[in-house]
Amino acid sequence: MVEPIYLDYNGTTPLDPEVIAAMRPFLESDFGNPSSSHWYGIKPKQAVEGARRQVAGLLNCRSEELFFTSGGTESNNHAIKGIARSMKSQGRHIVTSAFEHPAVLEVCRYLAAEGFETTCVSVDDQGMVDPGEVERALRPDTILVTVMHANNEVGTVQPIAEIAAIARRHGIPVHTDAAQSLGKIPVDVQALGVDLLSVAGHKLYAPKGIGALYVRRGLQPEKFCHGAGQERGWRAGTENVPFIVALGKACEIAGRDLPAGMAHLQAMRDRLHRGIADGLTGVRLNGHSERRLPNTLSLAFHNLEANRILEEIGLDVAASAGAACHADTVSISHVLEAMHLPVDWAKGTLRFSVGRMTTAEQIDRAVSVVTTAVRRLHEA
């Protein structure tokens, strides 16, 4: 059986062969505990610190400002709960957007039980947060602003530097979830001006279950994983050395190949867009036409149901739906809802996301599969 063409790189990425090669020794011979003071601990310890430097190199921060986590969700939890709890004597108000991943929105919702209040600023119909609205949402008791760098569903890239500059003027720390942007566009914590930034390894060709959190020097989020004091006390627990090494290598590759990588992603994404838009009527792009991840293409197919399209193409193309239809109800993703996309468009939304391994030949086959399926569904 021929495998479907993988166009869901925002869901997760395959491992880069260079990443596999880098982590292999730490799955085989170099198994020691980096905290061990004997010979077996030396290489793993050096490898963890080497990986930290590689991640720091990509983010343009100091190694000491990073700790490793199990991924994007955990990093967001550490950042938001950690800052909220450490600053609660100064206030209990958080500003975020209606557009965030559940790994931010659910954390804010959870914190309500601890007396925190969250203001969700809106996004426009292209998924952009207005920095002015963030400023208007700030209150004397605001202790954190958290807005994602790039959206996972439609790819819109937020004006984080402007938002961070506003928050800084008010003395409020800023967190950004960079799970989707890292490796696809430049992510420089100094240029962005953020104080905390979340990384998810499996979106940039490292394994699932590894991530990192950047915490600007001087900030002290409350820790909530207590134990033997690894990661300088920020996150106790014996380090996942092979996966940490993998994340380091993935970051090194992302930095090394970024300009060429971005051009490739954009060429593949635009070829797919052109092919589908030229072959069909009733197709609309979701998200910002320019300020968007170079790999992400969210398309609305008018008056169709996303799950029906996925059923038609599923053996040939792997993509993801922006809405789910159950019996006679349609549940539209909170992202499309926040953009006020009309239901007759939102319910037929598919997200295609291309990656490093995507080829022009795959894109041309995907265009043919998708256009044929959509025409068939319209005729049915």
Q: How many CB atoms lie within 10 A of CB 261?
A: 20
**Applying CB under 6 A, does 131 fall inside the site for ligand PLP?**
no
- Which of 45, 52, 92, 101 lies at the binding interface for ligand PLP (CB under 6 A)? 101
R_g (Cα) of the chain, nearest Å = 21
- Which of 179, 247, 268, 297 lies at the binding interface for ligand PLP (CB under 6 A)? 179
Residue of closest CB approach to ligand PLP: 72
For the CB of residue 58, give the shortest distance to ligand PLP in the complex, in Å: 17
Binding residues for ligand PLP restricted to 240-259, rule: CB under 6 A = none
- Which of 13, 119, 152, 230 lies at the binding interface for ligand PLP (CB under 6 A)? 152
- Which of 32, 34, 44, 71 lies at the binding interface for ligand PLP (CB under 6 A)? 71
End-to-end CA distance of the chain: 28
| Sheet with 349-353: strands ordered across | 283-286, 296-301, 349-353, 320-321
**Applying CB under 6 A, does 211 fall inside the site for ligand PLP?**
yes
For the CB of residue 180, give the shortest distance to ligand PLP in the complex, in Å: 5
The single residue of 61, 120, 225, 325 carrying the catalytic annotation is 325
* Contact indicator for 107, 72 with CB cutoff of 8 Å: no
Q: What angle do CA 22, 23, 28 make, to 5 degrees?
A: 120
61 noted as active-site residue = no
β partners of residue 196: 175, 215
**Applying CB under 6 A, does 73 fall inside the site for ligand PLP?**
yes
- Which of 34, 72, 131, 183 lies at the binding interface for ligand PLP (CB under 6 A)? 72
List the beta strands (DSSP E) in 289-354. Answer: 296-301, 317-318, 320-321, 323-326, 329-332, 349-353
Contacts with ligand PLP by CB under 6 A: the residue count is: 13
**Applying CB under 6 A, does 148 fall inside the site for ligand PLP?**
yes
What residues contact residue 309 under an 8 Å CB cut-off, 6+ apart? 301, 321, 348, 350, 370, 373, 374, 377
- Which of 22, 51, 79, 103 lies at the binding interface for ligand PLP (CB under 6 A)? 103
Q: What is the largest CA-CA distance in the chain?
A: 70
Burial annotation 107-117 (CB, 10 A radius, 16+ → b, else e): bbeebeeeebe
**Applying CB under 6 A, does 213 fall inside the site for ligand PLP?**
no
Given the complex with ligand PLP, which of 32 and 353 has the nearer CB atom? 353
Given the complex with ligand PLP, which of 72 and 261 has the nearer CB atom? 72
Supply the residues annotated as catalytic: 325
Binding stretches for ligand PLP (CB under 6 A)? 71-73, 101, 103, 148, 152, 177, 179-180, 200, 202, 211
